[in-house]
Copies of this chain bind each other. A is one copy, B any other.
């Protein structure tokens, strides 16, 4: 398996066609996987915003006040409002905002970014990242690059473990997971491992070569990797009734 960064991409602006920008810079083979950082997908889709666009509700003001009181960190209530607008559910409100986005991804601040946002205050995640992935995939196909799955990636922290890793937030042209259920180990015992989230692993691998910051490269081609002859699953975000950690967070209140 090989990962090749797509270099030389310009600063992406609203209305830009990411498939075109990528296709001009790399030759893709059938079976290659293209990973694209949500940052440039959001920029192409015009998901830039300014804090003054967010009139502050009572709930947003309350959250900002509580964070300021408890965490001692000044929080702009307009930013809290933006997070609320982007969220289906708030899992934690203090000392930081952990939200489920409207498309099911759980991350701090609903994934709203304040870095690398030229001429605006904030950058929202794509509205429907799997549809974004599908559009990019279709755009590649129009340019003669058929059978290239596309993954829209983000970086995100995790419970229990330090540091952020690359994760998938949308995908098209391949299943999200290899489903090993029913397959056997070397001794013929059915495998305990059930589902391997390959889109998240591909996003993590890509993040090793994209980097953050000024030298960041927002797209990567994965070569010579095969999904293989396995069942597939498209579940990526856990259903509420299947996520004990989420249940625990709902029952819990920060008392720090």
Interface residues of A (CB under 8 A from B): 1-3, 11, 92, 95, 106, 113-118, 155, 158-167, 176-177, 180, 183-187, 189, 191-198, 200-202, 204-205, 207-209, 211-214, 216, 225, 228, 233, 235-238, 243-249, 251-252, 254
A180 touches B213 (CB 8 A): yes
Query: Whole-angstrom distance between the alpha carbons of A113 and B127 in the complex?
Result: 40
Q: A116-B186, A185-B115, A196-B212 are in contact. Are A238 and B161 (CB under 8 A)?
A: yes
16 of the cross-chain contacts (CB-CB < 8 Å) are A11-B186, A115-B192, A118-B187, A158-B158, A160-B238, A162-B176, A162-B197, A162-B233, A163-B197, A191-B212, A200-B204, A201-B208, A245-B245, A245-B248, A251-B251, A252-B252
Q: Which of A116, A117, A196 has the most CB atoms of chain B within a 10 A radius of its CB?
A: A196
Copies in the complex: 2
Q: A164-B195, A164-B196, A233-B162 are in contact. Are A205 and B201 (CB under 8 A)?
A: yes
Q: A201-B205, A204-B204, A212-B180 are in contact. Are A245 and B249 (CB under 8 A)?
A: yes
